[in-house]
Amino acid sequence: MSEGESTQAAEWDARYGERGDAMWSGRPNGRLVAEVEGLTPGRALDVGCGEGADAIWLASQGWMVTAIDISQVALDRARRAADAAGVAVDWRCGDALQTRFDAGSFDLVSLQYPALPKAAGDEAVGALLESVRTGGLLLAVYHDLDHDHREHMRARGVDPDDYVGVDDLLGLLHPSFTVERHATEPRVDPPPGTPHIADVILLARRR
Ligand SMILES: C[S@@+](CC[C@H](N)C(=O)[O-])C[C@H]1O[C@@H](n2cnc3c(N)ncnc32)[C@H](O)[C@@H]1O
Distance from the alpha carbon of residue 50 to the mean position of ligand 1, in angstroms: 5
Distance from the alpha carbon of residue 115 to the mean position of ligand 1, in angstroms: 6
pLDDT value of residue 114: 97
Q: What is the pLDDT of residues 25-63, one digit of tens each?
A: 899 999 999 999 999 999 999 999 999 999 999 999 999
Half-sphere CA count of 131, side-chain side, radius 13 A? 23
> pTM score, two decimals?
0.97
Q: Tell me the best of 16, 116, 131 to mutate to test the pocket of ligand 1, counting ligand atoms within 8 Å of each CB and taking the most.
A: 116
Q: Where are the beta strands (DSSP E) in 10-63?
A: 43-47
Q: Is 24 in the pocket of ligand 1 (CB under 6 A)?
A: yes
User: CB neighbours (10 Å) of residue 110?
Assistant: 28
Handedness of CA 17, 32, 115, 80 (dihedral sign): positive
User: Which CATH code for domain 3-180+190-206?
Assistant: 3.40.50.150
Distance from the alpha carbon of residue 120 to the mean position of ligand 1, in angstroms: 15
Distance from the alpha carbon of residue 174 to the mean position of ligand 1, in angstroms: 24
CA torsion angle 11 53 187 176 (round to 10): 90
Q: What is the pLDDT of residues 141-200, one digit of tens each?
A: 999 999 999 999 999 999 999 999 999 999 999 999 999 999 999 999 999 889 899 999
